[in-house]
A and B are shown apart, each in its own frame.
Chain A
Amino acid sequence: MSLTCLLSSELILAAILIPFVASIIIPIFHRAPNCREAVTLISALALLVVVTDLVPYILSGARPEVLDLDVVSGLGISFKVEPLGMLFALVASTLWIINSIYSIGYMRSHNEPRQTSFFVCFAVAISSAIGLAFSKNLLTLFIFYEILTLSTYPLVSHKGNNAARRGARVYIILLLGTSMIFLLPAILVTYNITETLDFTPGGILEGKTDNATLAILLALFVFGIGKSALMPFHFWLPSAMVAPTPVSALLHAVAVVKAGVFTVLKVVIYIFGIDTLSSSGQADWLIYFSSVCVIAASLIAIRQKNLKARLAYSTVSQLSYITLGASLATATSITGSVMHIVMHAVAKITLFMCAGAIYVAHNKTEIEELDGIGRLMPVTIFAFFVASLSIIGLPPFGGTWSKWFLAIGAIDSGYYFVVAVFMVSSVLNVIYLIPIVSAAIFKPLPGTKDGEAIKLKEAPLACVIPICLTALGCLIMFFVVDELYNFIGLIDFNVGVGTGQ
């Protein structure tokens, strides 16, 4: 389907406005849940159509832009679509549909309160994620970054009990705090040095400042972007586990952490410029630091008894891969990072939806309770297995490729130990993910005898179908990597060396 009647600039605005308008319409159908959910699904579909319609422009080399609203003198909200943002928008809008179907199944079968406000905040979060993806400058990105934080706060605190309140408190203070104390000063300093904040191929800082300032700025940016969950500012992610599972999926796969690492990549590619960064050598510390984070978070994950907490630390570790790729600052490593955004999103949303399905069907949250549950929910556990393999990075699943490119990038730039880090981390991934699956399949279900016929009890269909879709997605991603690679190749790194293999 294509909307040929719309200009590219109108498509950009439509993409941001569709979820936003949905958030206004949803409350009208407060008393008619079916209509309300229809609004969510229709706008999710419409968003995907609009976003996919933008792809041909990018492929043909156009970089459509729109709007110029002065928020402060000479600087303001404006949008420009480039391949990296396009890809993030595609991921977010595709997963919004899947996550919406799943949310409906989850929220209804669990009889959650305040479903209207849930869907409203969800739509606002998607709207700000799209706005963030299409930002033309750092200020616009910052504005949507903060709106994303605020709109997800009611989602994290959805349960409304004391645990939710505490978790949400950590969430909002860490995310707002890092963005105000580190990120905003970083933006101010960048603006003071360069007098522009536009994302420019090759960066805007080249030759404008000394190495020490570069190092300080890089630190302010990577720690200031708290959503990328680089240690030690990762606590918000496990704290946010109090949220309902669809929200965890939103945080871990659809929008929030992905917005964080997307911002890191944007800053490295278009503000620093990968040439400036790699030739200055000021990103070296970040290579070591994020390597440590990859391993440390995996080790913590192994110790977690709660399924969602384990998955959360897994995310912390996987996000550090992306930061690691960004800090290597080569075209190949960044290709790996971008690919990992996609691959990890598909795999992690599957894992979280499985965790939620288990909770909906059997009210189980701890890993030790999952013995033999594969006999009750074979589809869910199989999907969990598939997604685990993708996270570990085994063929034939998508995760293979992103790790492959990240490792090649590390070898290219001479950091061989990073390859070792990836190997060790993969082993740790096996250790913290596979035993869950094997216990679920091979251990007997408590209270049943061997050979006894067991009645299947999967989560509702609205939960199972999205799980199957994303698990299938992990597989498909392995085979469409060519297209993905070429698309990422459209990103203008503005470096002397070619990006081809």
Chain B
Amino acid sequence: MSAIEEGFVLKEHLPALIVVVPMVVAAAVAMTRNNRVAWAASTIVTWALFVFSAMLLAEVTNVGEISYSLGGWPPPYGIEYRVDIVNALILMLVSGIGAVVMPYALRAVDKDIHAGMHPWFYCTYLLCLCGLLGMTVTGDAFNIFVFMEISSLATYVLIALGRRREALLSAYQYLVMGTIGATLYVIGVGLLYIVTGSLNLSDIAGRLGPAMSDHSRSVMAGIAFIFTGLSLKLALFPLHFWLPNAYAFAPSFATIFLAATATKVAIYVFLRLYFSVFGAAISFSQFPVVEVILVLSLAAIFTASFLAIYEDSIVRMLAYSSVAQIGYITLGVAIANKAGLTGSIVHLVNHGLMKALLFAAVGAIIFRVGTDKLSKISGLGFKMPVTTAAFVVGGLSIIGVPSTVGFVSKWYLGVGAVNAGLWPVTLAIMVSSLLAVLYIGRVIEVVYFNPVCERCVKVKEPPLSMLAPIILLAIATVYFGLDTSFTGDIAIKAAEQLLEGLKQ
């Protein structure tokens, strides 16, 4: 076989490789005893996955949807991997964030994880990555559950590896909540399987309409189980309680990676099922689904933002901010017109970017100062100017200041709300960004206005391997806020595609 043909074969199997490669390498990494080798292998794999995702995205935009039958079994009997513009974007986000922050891991993991545990840490990271990519790429309801469990179990371990003893407790807390969520999800899938006889998503979408007329109770129960389970995984208010602790006590690299990707993938599954499966088969207008999502989103935005204002630990503050930002994403789902849903999808990516930036900056602060307590980092702006400046960029993006990615999301959500005639929602979006001014402003005041505190006197910038990803993320936050020809256009196409299937 010539090299070119091999290339073709490789390209054909990309949807499977994107899952198989990290899984195999994870096993290999677990067997090595060398920390540096483990890191290097994970980095190379992550970068390769990023390239794979980019190739898939290019393929999807140029050629169209890709359907891949795993093991050669045709759908709906075998497992189908299905890549379209929506999940290709999510694959790019997950692998892209991983690729950018892997250099950061080199020193951060040295500090956070006991030396003997490094290979295990990278192994679970790769498994987590594998699970997240698998959830995104698969077009099979049960396969989603399998990858959800792979990523969740890996996540529990990642959190538990944190140095503080509370890490164990938070991991346990998340384990309980996460298991409940996954169980609810699989019960829902089971109910739908009983009435439709299928696990393939597009097949379910086709069979659900007829099934609804015969077994409407089972279908509704199934959908309710699935959405509740997913809401737990994506930390939709009020099912978000596991999130602040999990982020606060996990090793900082794990926090960055999970905050930027894990909830985003759960939201993607939510979007996919909501629009392409259930929304395509059943008209939601007869149930108060939109109203429920709208109310929960607004409650998430305001409650979590208020909690963030009073938090002393920056990591926890950012975690609450994440809950609020997830509220924005689900808000776009409730608005459910093109602009609103574009806002949701673009915010998926944008929020991933800016939260990665913010958690990376705070991680660097913890790396140098040893704490993320606001009361103990006064005057840090003069000691770590680049890191704090990057934090400010991310903060401005959370506020939604123009020329950052946050503004782009806010604009689309605002246009969507105005289009839909939802005036109170428009106002709520604007007022809530003022709450972000308060909690970000608090950090800015402490690091720039207070005199340099004792423990910060000798602090300097983090090593280059940590600083470079931070700077890169900060540049991306501004760049994608000014030029949205990449993120924005894909999000618009994705929104169009999702809305296409929706039954009125």
A residues within 8 Å of B by Cβ? 69-73, 77, 142-143, 146-147, 150, 154, 157, 160, 164-165, 169, 172-173, 176-177, 180-181, 184-185, 188-189, 191-192
CB distance from B492 to the nearest CB of A (A): 6
Contact between chains at B427 and A192 (CB < 8 Å): no
Known: A72-B415, A169-B445, A176-B437. 11 other contacts (CB 8 A): A70-B483, A70-B484, A70-B485, A150-B401, A154-B448, A157-B448, A172-B437, A172-B441, A180-B434, A188-B415, A192-B418
Residues of B within 8 A of A157 (CB): 448-449
Question: Which one of B52-60, B167-175, B214-222, B406-414 contacts A?
Answer: B406-414
Contact between chains at A181 and B403 (CB < 8 Å): no
CB distance from A168 to the nearest CB of B (A): 9
Q: Is B497's beta carbon under 8 Å from chain A?
A: no
Contact between chains at B481 and A192 (CB < 8 Å): no
A169 to B445, CA, bound (A): 9
A142 to B414, CA, bound (A): 15
A184 to B427, CA, bound (A): 10
Closest to B444 in A: A153
Contact between chains at A72 and B441 (CB < 8 Å): no
A157 to B448, CA, bound (A): 10
Name, among B402, B403, B430, B484, the residue most crowded by chain A CB atoms within 10 Å (CB to CB).
B402
Q: Is B426's beta carbon under 8 Å from chain A?
A: yes
Contact between chains at B418 and A142 (CB < 8 Å): no
Chain B 463-504 near chain A by CB (<8 Å), digits 1 or 0: 000000000000000000111110011001000000000000
Closest 4 CB pairs of A and B: A143-B402, A192-B418, A188-B414, A188-B418
Closest to A193 in B: B418
Chain B contact patch, size range: 35 or more
Q: Is B419's beta carbon under 8 Å from chain A?
A: yes
Closest to B411 in A: A72
Residues of A within 8 A of B427 (CB): 181, 185
Residues of B within 8 A of A172 (CB): 437, 441
Chosen A-B contacts, 23 in total, with CB atoms closer than 8 Å, are A69-B483, A70-B483, A70-B484, A70-B485, A70-B488, A71-B402, A71-B408, A71-B481, A71-B483, A72-B412, A73-B484, A143-B402, A160-B448, A169-B445, A172-B437, A173-B434, A173-B441, A176-B399, A184-B414, A185-B418, A185-B430, A188-B426, A191-B415
What secondary structure prevails in chain B residues at the interface with A?
Answer: helix
Contact of A73 among B418, B448, B481, B489 (CB under 8 A): B489
Contact between chains at A69 and B482 (CB < 8 Å): yes
Closest to B483 in A: A69
Contact between chains at A181 and B411 (CB < 8 Å): no
Contact between chains at A72 and B426 (CB < 8 Å): no
Closest to A185 in B: B426
Q: Is B259's beta carbon under 8 Å from chain A?
A: no
Q: Is B143's beta carbon under 8 Å from chain A?
A: no
Residues of A within 8 A of B434 (CB): 173, 176-177, 180-181
A154 to B430, CA, bound (A): 24
Residues of A within 8 A of B401 (CB): 146, 150, 176
Residues of B within 8 A of A70 (CB): 483-485, 488
Q: Is B396's beta carbon under 8 Å from chain A?
A: yes
Residues of B within 8 A of A143 (CB): 402-403, 407
A433 to B403, CA, bound (A): 42
What secondary structure prevails in chain A residues at the interface with B?
Answer: helix
Q: Is B17's beta carbon under 8 Å from chain A?
A: no
Q: A73-B492, A143-B403, A185-B414 are in contact. Are A192 and B419 (CB under 8 A)?
A: yes
Residues of B within 8 A of A173 (CB): 434, 437, 441
A164 to B450, CA, bound (A): 12
Contact of B441 among A154, A160, A164, A169 (CB under 8 A): A169
A497 to B190, CA, bound (A): 75
Residues of A within 8 A of B449 (CB): 157, 160, 164-165
Contact between chains at A147 and B403 (CB < 8 Å): yes
Contact between chains at A72 and B437 (CB < 8 Å): no
CB distance from B282 to the nearest CB of A (A): 30
Closest to A176 in B: B437
Residues of B within 8 A of A189 (CB): 418
Closest to B415 in A: A188
Contact between chains at A73 and B441 (CB < 8 Å): no
Chain B 410-433 near chain A by CB (<8 Å), digits 1 or 0: 111011001100000011001101
Residues of B within 8 A of A188 (CB): 411, 414-415, 418, 426
Residues of A within 8 A of B410 (CB): 184
Contact between chains at A181 and B431 (CB < 8 Å): yes
Residues of B within 8 A of A146 (CB): 401-403
Contact of B415 among A147, A164, A176, A192 (CB under 8 A): A192
CB distance from B132 to the nearest CB of A (A): 28
In residues 75-129 of chain B, which contact A (Cβ within 8 Å)? none
A383 to B441, CA, bound (A): 40
CB distance from A186 to the nearest CB of B (A): 11
CB distance from A415 to the nearest CB of B (A): 33
CB distance from B245 to the nearest CB of A (A): 31
Residues of A within 8 A of B415 (CB): 72, 188, 191-192
A143 to B411, CA, bound (A): 12
Q: A143-B402, A150-B396, A188-B414 are in contact. Are A180 and B484 (CB under 8 A)?
A: no
Closest to A72 in B: B411
CB distance from A333 to the nearest CB of B (A): 31
CB distance from B61 to the nearest CB of A (A): 16
Name, among A73, A173, A181, A189, the residue most crowded by chain B CB atoms within 10 Å (CB to CB).
A73
Closest to A173 in B: B437
Contact between chains at B484 and A72 (CB < 8 Å): yes
Residues of A within 8 A of B412 (CB): 72
A157 to B401, CA, bound (A): 20
CB distance from A465 to the nearest CB of B (A): 34
A212 to B400, CA, bound (A): 29
Q: A72-B412, A150-B396, A181-B430 are in contact. Are A77 and B484 (CB under 8 A)?
A: no
Residues of A within 8 A of B426 (CB): 185, 188
Residues of A within 8 A of B407 (CB): 71, 143
A181 to B342, CA, bound (A): 22
Contact between chains at B402 and A147 (CB < 8 Å): yes
Contact between chains at A72 and B482 (CB < 8 Å): no
